[in-house]
Amino acid sequence: MGSITLEHVNKSFGEVEIIPDISLEIEDGEFVVFVGPSGCGKSTLLRLIAGLEDTTSGHIKLDGEDVTGAPPARRGLAMVFQSYALYPHMSVRDNIAFPLKMAKMPQAEIDKKVEYAARTLNLGSYLDRRPRALSGGQRQRVAIGRAIVREPKAFLFDEPLSNLDAALRVNMRLEITELHQQLKTTMIYVTHDQVEAMTMADRIVVLNAGNVEQFGSPLELYKRPANRFVAGFIGSPKMNFVDGPEAEKHNAHSIGVRPEHFALSTTAGAGQWAGTVNVAEQLGSDTFLHVEVEGLGLMTVRTDGEQTFRHGDKVYLTPAANRIYRFDAAGLALQDKPT
Amino acid sequence: MATRQTRTLARTMMAPAVIVLLIWMAVPLAMTIWFSFQNYSLINPMMTGFAGWGNYEYVIGDPSFTQALVNTLLLVGGVLLITVIGGTFLALLLDQPIWGQGVLRILVISPFFVMPPVAALIWKNGFMHPGYGMLGHLFKALGLEPVDWFAQYPLFSVIVIVAWQWLPFATLILLTALQSLSEEQREAAEMDGANAVNRFRYIILPHMARAITIVILIQTIFLLGIFAEIRVTTGGGPGYASTNITFLVFRTGILSNDIGAGSAGGVVAVIIANIVAIFLMRAVGKNLDA
Amino acid sequence: MARNASVQTKVGFTVLAWAVALLLFSPILWTIVTAFKTEAEAIATPPTFLPLTFTLDNFGDVQDRSDYIKHAWNSILVSVGSTLLGLVIAIPAAWSMAFAPTKRTKDILMWMLSTKMMPAVGVLIPIYLIFRDLRLLDTVHGLTIIMTLINLPIIIWMLYTYFKEIPVDILEAARMDGAELWNEIVHVLVPMAIPGIASTLLLNVILAWNEAFWTITLTSGRAGTLTAFISSFSSPQGLFLAKLSAASLLAIAPILLLGWFSQKQLVRGLTFGAVK
């Protein structure tokens, strides 16, 4: 079991309020991702749950039990650190066995569990090596191995993939997702990368300046962002925003259109935004156009990879009518359309 | 970082160190100050009671104090001059591409590991003895009259011994600082057309300035307390010719058993050391990223 | 070193450097060779460099006259004992300051450093009287306590600078893995800091071994260390230069060897981490 409840959690360092007031309910077995720009308080929030920091006020409950004052050792959670935090003076085997040794488990049982974890994570042939003799991906697996052997109530991941190269990152992303499907244990995963958030999460918590901007499933966040911040943060490339008279036409303070929600043509027509191609980024499958739209500014447009564009080409953009996001002056989404 | 629990734990863990150092610092120092205002002599137990500034007047008023103070300044200043200039020169020399650098370093650093009484004795007997010391032999070979160093130049002789002990320290620290100067920076200066003198003046010296400051301050702390070298060579003499403040306090307090006057001297020594310490703390503190 | 130097320059610098180094080393070298000469040869004019008659008698005489072994044993007890005791007190303190720093940590460190700057004579008289009254004068344990106290600030400082280099993540990982403080320190921090702890130990043994104020003022016969042992040679008694050299060599040889291995740590320890 591993449901996690935060009740009016507040964290301040001296005068500085990192997290003003957060309440969250994370259900047992869920994969929840905390995502947000750096400095948004996502790592602090994770460390509060871990017990590595204590709350200034508010409560943290694990399976309904209040653990606010409990030290990390007593919470029964496991954490995978950004730096992996492997014990450099211990072999891979001893690293994985460490939490079990701390729990005073009999040696025979420890051996069995370490073997099992090593098999699950393909670490069998490295068990007697020191961490420094391993590659980044292998270290990451050891860190995960160390976390799974103790069968925690929940796993906490603190940006675990950010030290890996791009290709390995995609692999490990899949492995962690598979691991979750296999173990069905609650996982909380912190990242600044919205792609990781979208691909891995059951539910995403979008954080900004210590506040929860929105808590929902990836598609919910994509389709119905609660405000301009979430709309801009989720989705890649970023949503285009337009203020002023053009937004007023839609009875909004500002409107947003995702790059993938434009129809593109090279001939002029009614209701279209005329612009000039500034840069065309061709990825093969897609092409991202950075278009200078007259009177509205720079827009990113996603189009298929077949067409080629050059700097200076004239293009005409039609935002999909039912995909225009509308926001009020405070940045909150106006909820009548789109759906 | 850390939780309230960790912080509480941290305070507990730090307590033993803080408490023993606090006691070590406060109790004897308070006693020294207390004694310094008392008539307290182990030779004359009849003489007791509050002395006011009497002990201070006695210690500071005595010509031996003035001489000890001057000697202390000469000793500290002389050794600093020799070690800083010599150390800079040696550090630059050892930083050159030369054969046998590792062995050279060991030879140069060795005097620092020689305990003070040994250093003093091997200089006194093996080198400076007018009859069979190396310098005596050398003078005789040159047809000169051998010098009885400790009788004729007692303070100078002590300075030479102490400088010999501390020159390796200065060299080692300055060399470490020198080697932390990036090769690129030197090469850039070379590319910019700076000759050796200018490179030293504008690149190397400013880079070493901090290390030199630290060498001066740390050595000063230790040099103010020079004791064994004097004890085993001149015994502070002839007269008070090679007595520094530290040795004067030892002489008054322990050898003459005048606790009150010795303590007054001790307080004076503490005040002098504190003046230096303030500067040292600033230099080290700036570097501390706690 | 990518610097190009012509062979001539290199030869020049090498010769100069060796000349200066040998000059600085000559008192030690002279002591070494004299220790193996007869007394008559030691003071002969003109002097010989290498002993004509190689003898080990001086070492035996020194042992008979002043009991080198007893003093050396005292030196080992005091220097190693005080360092170990210091480490026991310092490791928890350095852990606190490196991994749970507060606003006052810096002040506490600076204050600890300041105790090191108090001149020994400032407290000599009270310590002498306290030791006399507690019957600690001329005892090994009394001297060990003093030595622990005077070196404690350096031990804490050195450990602090080494601990600071250990990523706090790893200690936090241990906490997450269920390690209580004791296990965190014993199984994770100490093994990781072994090189730093060893350097600290080495430097402090050297400093304690060579300490020559308290060892001379607080001991006489029984608990005398090698500094006291050698000081007993300060008044010449007949032919004695060769014996003095032998005694000197015996007193400095162990620490000279240790010292050669610890040059780097020495810099860091003696500058309180300000020069690395």
Q: Are A54 and B1 an interchain contact pair (Cβ–Cβ within 8 Å)?
A: no
Residue C156 in contact with residue C93, Cβ under 8 Å?
A: yes
Residue with tokens 């509308």: A326
Note the pLDDT tens digit of each residue in C181-233.
889 999 999 999 988 888 888 888 888 888 888 888 888 778 888 888 887 77
> Contact C187/A98, CB-based, under 8 Å?
yes
Q: Which residues of A touch C174 (CB under 8 A)?
A: 87, 98
Angle C78-C199-B102 (CA atoms, 0-180°, nearest 5)? Answer: 115
C-alpha distances in angstroms, A217 versus A2, A27, A179, A202, A221? 19, 13, 20, 6, 6
ipTM above 0.85, yes or no: no
Reported confidence tier of residue B145, pLDDT bands at 50, 70, 90: confident
Q: Give pLDDT tens digits for A218-231.
A: 999 999 999 999 99
Q: What is the CATH number of the domain that holds A301?
A: 2.40.50.140
Q: Among residues C199, C214, C232, which one ends one of the domains?
A: C232
Q: Using CA atoms, how far apart are residues A114 and A92, in angstroms rounded to an integer?
A: 10
Q: Which of A230, A258, A286 is the last residue of a domain?
A: A230
Kindly list the distances between the CA atom of residue A96 and the CA atoms of A47, A113, A144, A151, C245, in Å, as whole numbers in the listed order: 21, 9, 9, 12, 58
Same domain flag for A188 and A284: no
**Closest CB from C176, C179, C187 relative to A77:** C176
Chains touching chain C at 3 or more Cβ pairs under 8 angstroms? A, B
Nearest to B21 among C112, C124, C271 (CB): C112
User: CB B27: neighbour CB atoms within 10 A?
Assistant: 14
**CATH code, domain with A182:** 3.40.50.300
Q: What's the CATH class of domain B63-286? A: mainly alpha
Tell which of C121, C130, C138, C270 to mutate to test the B interface (max B CBs under 10 Å): C121
Structural domain for A174, as ranges: 4-230
HSE-CB at B188 with a 13 A cutoff on CA atoms is 8
Edge-first strand listing for the sheet containing A325-327: A240-243, A254-257, A325-327
B3 touches chain A (CB under 8 A): yes
Task: Name the interface residues of A facing B (CB cutoff 8 Å).
Answer: 51-54, 69, 71
- Listed range (A153-162, B189-198, C173-182) with the worst mean pLDDT: B189-198
Is A212 a domain residue?
yes
Instruction: Show Cβ contacts of residue B166 under 8 Å, excluding neighbours closer than 6 positions.
Output: B79, B83, B112, B219, B222, B223
Rounded to the nearest angstrom, the minimum Cα separation between B182 and chain A is 28
- CB A123, CB A174: distance < 8 Å: no
What pLDDT is attached to residue A220? 93
CB atoms closer than 10 angstroms to residue B17: 24
For residues A168-172, give the mean pLDDT: 88
What does the block give as tokens for B10? Answer: 């941290």
C176 versus C223: the higher-pLDDT residue is: C176
Mean pLDDT throughout B156-174? 91
Contact A302, A287 (CB under 8 A): yes
Within 13 A of A300's CA, how many CA atoms are on the CB side? 18
Residues C101, C102, C103, C105, Cα dihedral to 10°: -50
Q: Give me the pLDDT at residue C2, please.
A: 42
- Tally of domains within chain C: 2
Which of A305-314, C11-20, C87-96 is predicted most confidently? C87-96
What's the average model confidence in pLDDT over C222-249? Answer: 79
> How close A106 gets to chain B, by Cα (Å)?
29
Collapse the DSSP code of C47 into the 3-class scheme (helix H, G, I; strand E, B; otherwise coil) and give the result. Answer: coil
Residue C106 C-alpha, separation from nearest chain B C-alpha, in angstroms: 6
Residue range B205-244, pLDDT digits in tens? 888 887 888 888 778 878 888 888 888 888 777 878 888 8
Q: Given a contact as 3+ CB pairs under 8 Å, which chains touch B? A: A, C
Residues of C in Cβ contact (< 8 Å) with A82? 169
Q: Is C178's CB within 8 Å of A73's CB? A: yes
pLDDT, one tens digit per residue, over A231-253 is 999 988 899 999 888 888 888 89
Q: Which residues of C touch A (CB under 8 A)?
A: 167, 169-170, 172-180, 183, 187-188, 191-192, 194
Do A86 and A21 have their domain in common?
A: yes
Across all residues in chain A, what is the average pLDDT?
89
Indicate yes or no: CB of B117 within 8 angstroms of CB of C216: yes
| Residues in Cβ contact with A132 at an 8 Å cutoff, skipping those fewer than 6 apart | A88
Is the same domain home to A187 and A249?
no
Where are any strands of DSSP class E within chain C? none
CB pair distance less than 8 Å for B118 and C209: no
Percent of chain A with pLDDT over 90: 54
**Which of C203-215 are b and which e, b meaning 16 or more Cβ less than 10 Å from the residue's Cβ?**
bbbbbbbbbbbbb
pTM more than 0.80: yes
Mean pLDDT of B252-276: 81
Residue C238 has what pLDDT? 54
End residue of a domain, out of A189, A211, A230: A230
Q: Compute the Cα dihedral for C182, C188, C193, C197 and give only its sign.
A: positive
Q: Is A64 left (phi over 0), alpha (psi -120 to 50) or beta?
A: left
Mean pLDDT value across chain C: 84
Which residue of chain C is at minimal alpha-carbon distance from A152? C177
Q: Output the pLDDT for position A6.
A: 92
In a domain, A336, yes or no: no
**Contact: B173, C31; criterion CB under 8 Å:** no
- In tens, the pLDDT along A125-150 reads 889 999 999 988 899 999 999 999 98
Q: Would A339 be classed as within a structural domain?
A: no
Between chains, do C192 and A78 touch, taking CB under 8 Å as contact? no
pLDDT category at A337 given cuts 50, 70, 90 is low
Tell me, yes or no, if B4 comes closer than 8 A to chain A by beta carbon.
yes
Do residues B79 and B119 lie in contact, with contact meaning Cβ atoms separated by under 8 Å? no
Residue B1: pLDDT above 60? no
Query: B4-36 and B259-286 are packed helices; what angle lies between their axes, rounded to 10 degrees?
Result: 150
Minimum CA–CA partner of B249 in chain C: C121
Q: Worst-scoring range by mean pLDDT, A74-78, B44-48, B55-59, C135-139?
A: B44-48
Q: Where are the beta strands (DSSP E) in A174-293?
A: 186-191, 203-208, 211-216, 240-243, 254-257, 262-265, 273-282, 286-293
Q: Could you list the residue range(s) of the whole structural domain that residue C24 is in?
A: 7-56
